[in-house]
Amino acid sequence: MKTKKYFSILMMLAISGTMLSSCSNKDNKNDESTGKVTLASGKEKYQHMIDSIETKMQATRNMPLDQGTAMFAMRCYDEYASYFPDETKSPEYLFKAGELANSLQLSQPALTYLSRVMNKYPNYKNAPYALFMQGMIYDDQLKDTANARKIYKEVIAKYPESQLAKDAEASINNLGKSVEELVREFEKKQAASAKK
């Protein structure tokens, strides 16, 4: 009985040792002789999954977004960026995860992804949009005008010459207004400009 117990413990240690060594093997090469998964082969596997899921989403772009597919894509994007933060695709994948979460009205995950873009990759080409989208989420989905105003002001401060700064100013002016109020204001402006 003791022999079986010790054998089980030895097997568990051997298995966990193999798993640990494969995760810590940083030579970035796929060692096919041992079957170890290394960082390079792991990255290739994630990239393959992402390419497959993006192909599927592209093929169904004219149909409503499938929530299961979108959730799987978000998870793949998130894990890729977490495991390979220095890769050039990581900020793009986090941004895409934020867009998907936003389109599914998953406010908190969207804010988390977009914040990660801003915090980790402030020089990423879509960082201004990631910031602006956070303001929109606070404004439109969460009805949190205080945080929306704060984010919009940050957009104006960080990107003063951009179109997004102008959009942020307009968004601040419209905070808390209902669609009906916005339509009435637009109609008044149209009537006033028609009189001129």
Q: Is the pLDDT of residue 194 over 50?
A: yes
**Residue 121 DSSP SS3:** coil
User: Residue 185: its pLDDT value, please?
Assistant: 81
Burial of 131 (0-12, 13-18, 19+ CB in 10 A): buried
pLDDT tens profile 65-105 = 889 999 999 999 999 999 999 999 999 999 999 999 999 99
Cα separation, 58 vs 45, whole angstroms: 20
Taking residue 113's Cβ as centre, other Cβ atoms within 10 Å add up to: 27
Of the CA atoms within 13 Å of residue 137, those in its CB half-sphere come to 24
Mean pLDDT across 102-130: 97
Task: Write out pLDDT tens, residues 43-55.
Answer: 899 899 999 999 9
> Between residues 11 and 165, which one has the greater pLDDT?
165
3-state class (DSSP) for residue 178: coil
With residue 19 as reference, give the H or E element that holds it.
Answer: helix 2-24
CB 110 within 8 A of CB 76: no
pLDDT at 176: 84
Binned at pLDDT 50, 70 and 90, residue 39 comes out as low
73: how many CB neighbours lie within 10 A of its CB? Answer: 23
